[in-house]
Amino acid sequence: MLNRRRGSILIAAYIVLLSLLIFGGIFFARSISDRKLFDINRERQEAFYLAESAVDRGIEELRANSSYAGTSSPVAFGRGEYEIVVTTLSSSRKMIMAYGYVPNKTQKRAQRTIEVITKAETPPDFFDYAIYSANDVDFNGNSYDVTGDVIYADTIDNEGRVVGTVTPDPTISPLAQFDFAAMREIAVAQGNLYDSSRLDDVQTGSDSFPGDFWYSDPTDPSDPTTGIPNVVYVEGDMVLNGNIGIIGGFFLVVGDVLTDPDATYDTTINGIGEIAGCIYTTGDFRINGGGGGLNVDGGVWAGNEARLNGNANIAYNQDYMYSIKAMVESQSLGSVVQLFSWREIE
């Protein structure tokens, strides 16, 4: 009887032990499965973030050069790689295929793909402002004058001497960009490319900027769009001091943004004189007028702050601005890249 009871206890113990082993095995297998599922989901999420980084890179490339197209080499970033393929759909639209890989393209355990369609258009009324600032506008003192409309993205100070409409609009940031490569080619053909060496010569007086807005006068004096402006491409900061006299043209102060889309270059003008035309600068625009006055007859586009100090005057000149507009639009040279559609492929 005792032996039978011991046998029953032993069998029960075996059953309990076997049950524990089975449940332990199930729990262990479930833990392994959950861990693997967690790793898969984590790597897929990382691949998605990499694909989003690729979208940002593609938009940067297009904002630096609206003609950009092609396939980039995989770029290592974080715990994986990303890659972009940009194709042209039309004159104003591009498709960015953005890929994210973990750990890399050749040994990918996870891949996410995003398709983005961009459109490049010149913003409405872009050529209708005396000052167009994608950041701040700062007017100092009571000796400045602005005749024409002003639009800004962030803040404005001391606007009391503006004769025109002042409009806040955060959507105008970042500043719309032109096809800098094409603009540079026009400047080269006109003899108006100013690199660092030539800028030094301007400072010493051994060289100068054009003295007139027009490269070719309008064939119809009543229609400024029939004329061709001087396109002055400035590769670096544009700094003018003293009595600058009269200089003219469409000044693009853009430095090496062809290769560095984040580069910003400033315009600082001190003293007396007049600029007949428009200044486009990727950075700050500062004008410090002396006793004799310092004038811009045309307009100003600033990627960052636009600041007027002292006896400085900016007056909107529609003839100059619409001549630039006609050139830009006829050759599709001006645009700001915006997202048109976005979807994940896989």
Distance separating alpha carbons of residues 287 and 280, to the nearest angstrom: 13
Supply the pLDDT for residue 37: 78
Q: How many CB atoms lie within 10 A of CB 243?
A: 11
List pLDDT tens digits, range 131-160.
999 999 999 988 899 999 999 999 999 999
Residues 6+ apart with CB under 8 A from 289: 143, 144, 271, 272, 308, 309, 310, 311, 312, 313
Supply the pLDDT for residue 106: 93
Please report, rounded to a whole number, the percentage of residues in the chain having pLDDT higher than 70. 85
Q: How far is CA 193 from the centre of its chain?
A: 23
Supply the pLDDT for residue 21: 67
Phi–psi pair at 340, nearest 5 degrees:
-105, -40
List pLDDT tens digits, range 105-133.
999 999 999 999 887 777 778 999 999 99
Distance separating alpha carbons of residues 107 and 76, to the nearest angstrom: 13
Supply the pLDDT for residue 72: 87
DSSP conformation class of 49? H
| Assigned token pair, 91 | 């004159």
Which among 240, 238, 243 is positioned nearest to 302, based on CA atoms?
238
Q: Where does the pLDDT of residue 256 fall: very low under 50, low under 70, confident under 90, or very high at 90 and above?
A: low
CA neighbours closer than 13 Å in the CB half-sphere of residue 225: 8
| Assigned token pair, 45 | 């999420």
Residues 6+ apart with CB under 8 A from 188: 233
List pLDDT tens digits, range 58-98.
887 886 677 788 888 999 998 999 999 999 988 778 899 99
Supply the pLDDT for residue 336: 60
Supply the pLDDT for residue 14: 66
Q: What is the mean pLDDT of residues 308-324?
A: 94
DSSP conformation class of 324? H
Distance separating alpha carbons of residues 316 and 336, to the nearest angstrom: 22
| Assigned token pair, 160 | 């009391």
Torsion of CA 226, 318, 241, 269, to 10 degrees: -130
List pLDDT tens digits, range 177-227.
787 888 999 999 999 999 989 999 998 889 999 999 999 999 999 999 999
Higher pLDDT, 330 or 340: 330
Structure-token match 């898969």, residue found? 40
**Is 259's pLDDT higher than 60?**
no
DSSP conformation class of 129? -
Supply the pLDDT for residue 335: 62
Torsion of CA 312, 313, 319, 321, to 10 degrees: 60
| Assigned token pair, 275 | 């600029």
Supply the pLDDT for residue 7: 64
Q: Which residues are registered as beta bridge partners of 112?
A: 100
The DSSP H or E segment spanning 215 is strand 214-216
**Is 104's pLDDT higher than 90?**
yes
Supply the pLDDT for residue 217: 96
Supply the pLDDT for residue 240: 87
Supply the pLDDT for residue 284: 93
**Is 23's pLDDT higher than 70?**
no
Q: How many CB atoms lie within 10 A of CB 33?
A: 10
Higher pLDDT, 10 or 44: 44
Phi–psi pair at 336, nearest 5 degrees:
-125, 130
Higher pLDDT, 165 or 345: 165
**Is 275's pLDDT higher than 70?**
yes
Supply the pLDDT for residue 119: 76
List pLDDT tens digits, range 2-13.
556 666 666 666
Instruction: Fill in the amino acid letter for 267.
Output: T
Which among 107, 116, 109, 108 is positioned nearest to 57, based on CA atoms?
116
| Assigned token pair, 125 | 């009324």
Distance separating alpha carbons of residues 233 and 235, to the nearest angstrom: 6
Signed CA dihedral, 287, 126, 226, 224: sign only: negative
Q: Where does the pLDDT of residue 289 fall: very low under 50, low under 70, confident under 90, or very high at 90 and above?
A: confident
**Is 334's pLDDT higher than 70?**
no
Supply the pLDDT for residue 30: 67
| Assigned token pair, 101 | 């890989």
pLDDT, mean over the chain: 87
- Distances 183 to 56, 115, 134 between C-alpha atoms, Å: 24, 30, 21
